[in-house]
Amino acid sequence: MSDKSNPGIERVGVYVDGFNLYYGLRELGRRRHLWLDLHAMATRLLRPHQRLVGVSYFTAAIRNDPPAVARQETYLAATASLGVQVVLGRYQQQSVQCHSCGATRRTYAEKQSDVALGAAMVADVATHQVDAVMLVSADSDLCAAVHAIRRLNDELGTKTRVITVFPPRRRSESLQRVSDAWFPLGDAVIRQSQLPSVVRAPDGCVYHRPHHWN
């Protein structure tokens, strides 16, 4: 399906796995690039025949680390103020026992974000909101959502494509196999897609890049 007002234009929805992207950037050792303009990044990933219809960012609220919580809240507020849809999952407390000494420690596992991301992609395909899904992740658990999109294409007679963009230092052979196309998120795109140090939102709110990310 093409844009009715612009025949030949492919409508693209971008779905970002925030957890996967964040740790990919961290492993590059570049905290300064965490202040990422997701809309600008998504725009740079498009081809001339494509039109961006929306960017959704899926993550979970950090717990028990006040400085990190403050940084995340600032980033998410700045991101949402610029039109990106932010969808929050949660961290679930777990107890992990050491096999050597038997000691138990408390840890947290991210929950619901990948389910919400997969559901959003499938829903947008089912309601004809997009002609192509651009998934920014290397989480192989999302293969299930891609398979669901394939089944929808068969049922609806559509040809919605799935394009996977792998965050830095992340790759999934499973996602490669089920995607119509895939490529890594390039260093140049990351560098060129940074928010200004001070983000002035349309509602008058002002957000500053966290000092820890300079």
CATH of domain 10-213: 3.40.50.1010
Long-range contacts, stretch 206-213, CB < 8 angstroms, 24+ apart = 207/74, 207/75, 207/77, 207/78, 207/81, 208/74, 209/35, 210/35, 210/70, 210/71, 210/74, 210/75, 212/31, 212/67, 212/71, 213/31, 213/32, 213/34, 213/35, 213/71
The residues spanned by each domain of the chain are 10-213
pLDDT computed for residue 112 by the predictor: 73
| pLDDT tens digits in sequence order for the chain, 214 residues long | 334 456 689 999 999 999 999 999 998 877 889 999 999 999 999 999 999 999 999 999 988 899 999 999 999 999 999 999 999 985 444 444 555 666 554 444 455 789 999 999 999 999 999 999 999 999 999 999 999 999 999 999 999 999 999 999 999 999 999 999 999 999 999 999 999 999 999 999 999 999 999 8
H or E segment and range at residue 214: none
CA atoms within 13 A of residue 7's CA, in its CB half-sphere:
0
Distance CA 22, CA 13 (A): 20
C-alpha–C-alpha distance, residues 121 and 88, integer Å: 16
Chain mean position to CA 125: 17
Which pLDDT belongs to residue 63?
Answer: 85
Q: 99 is written with which tokens?
A: 């096999």
In eight-state DSSP terms, residue 6 is B
Token representation of residue 147:
């398979």
| Phi, psi torsion values for 8, nearest 5 degrees | 90, -10
* pLDDT, position 204: 95
Q: Of 119, 207, 125, 110, nearest to 160 (Cα)? A: 125
Would you state the pLDDT for residue 207?
Answer: 98
- What is residue 5's predicted lDDT score, i.e. its pLDDT? 55
Two tokens, residue 98: 């050491």
